[in-house]
Amino acid sequence: MDEKGRTTSLLSEDEMELRRGPWTVDEDLTLINYIATHGEGRWNTLALSAGLKRTGKSCRLRWLNYLRPDVRRGNITLEEQLLILELHSRWGNRWSKIAQYLPGRTDNEIKNYWRTRVQKHAKQLKCDVNSKQFKDAMRYLWMPRLVERIQAAATATATASVTTNDAYTSENNLKNNHMEVHNNLKEKMGFIEPSPPMNNDFVASYVMQSHTPDNSSTALSSSDSFGTQVSTKSDLTDYYSVPVSSNNNNTATPADYYQPSQINCITGTPGFFPPGLDFQSLDPWNLQNGDSSDNFWNVENMFFLEQHLMNDNM
């Protein structure tokens, strides 16, 4: 018998009477205590040594997705949603890769978010989640709207912080967290941003890229930037190397996203938006209420998107 724990292979699952299904509190405590003492790794032997009648796989999953102390619980934030949408547009279903850029979130959680929220909307629109139409809708409607909501929330919090030190501290912590996420992203990509925005730079980068026509021909003009193909480093460099205009203090007006001419310029897709459609009159979002991106899929937007998809399919 070698030191790699091959003793586990000598026992069938039946012989070990392995448990399946939901974990009990006792099992959780056993696993936590064992890892606290001995550390992670060698999951099959860990399961045996800890006296858990679980497969190593099951132990690993329970630990990584639930018991790990740095696992973040709670709703996916707007910033996280934006990041997920963006990263998924670049890497496709590479959940673990995407999860690397959302500290504390697991690949399982992101995958579930995608399947339950994003794919649901695609289904409602009767289109494939991987179709160009849906991806366009995501990038040109959903994501810009997320940016707007994030900025609105930041503005509201900043205003409140004038009178509340605690709120100020909290906001700073939030910003620092986002900065950390984004800096981590840049660091991993080996990209040096030329002129970092002052505020939430990840969000700001969206604003700047969409306000920079020159850039539209690179990162945004083609459906190639969606797809499931793995993005190259140069793709990302293009994405972040947006010439920073005079507006580097994150005060760009998100409403610009909704101007048809600009969007057509960006997409290079004539007819994507109906001529004369006043996007600014489409304000389905309630900035004061709710926190869910689901708000986007209200009657007006659904109608508009369905119309677009129908036209596109004809």
Partner DNA sequence: AAGACGCTCAACCGCTGGCCC
Partner DNA sequence: AGGGCCAGCGGTTGAGCGTCT
Residues making contact with DNA (CB under 7 A): 2-6, 8-9, 19-23, 41-46, 54, 56-58, 60-62, 65-66, 93-97, 107-109, 111-113, 115-117, 120
Query: Which of 2/214 has CB closer to DNA?
Result: 2
Residue type, 200: N
Query: Which of 111/132 has CB closer to DNA?
Result: 111
Residue type, 130: N
Minimum CB–partner distance for residue 38 and DNA (Å)? 12
Minimum CB–partner distance for residue 43 and DNA (Å)? 3
Query: Which of 94/175 has CB closer to DNA?
Result: 94
Minimum CB–partner distance for residue 30 and DNA (Å)? 13
| DSSP symbol at 217 | I
Number of Cβ atoms within 10 Å of the Cβ of 243: 11
Query: Which of 109/171 has CB closer to DNA?
Result: 109
- Longest CA–CA span in the chain (Å) reads 76
Minimum CB–partner distance for residue 205 and DNA (Å)? 24
Query: Which of 51/276 has CB closer to DNA?
Result: 51
162-177 burial by CB neighbour count: b if 16+ within 10 A, else e? eeeeeeeeebeebbee
288 sits in which H/E element: none
The label of the residue with tokens 């793709």 reads: 235
CA 131/CA 137 separation, integer angstroms:
10
Minimum CB–partner distance for residue 52 and DNA (Å)? 11
263 sits in which H/E element: helix 260-267
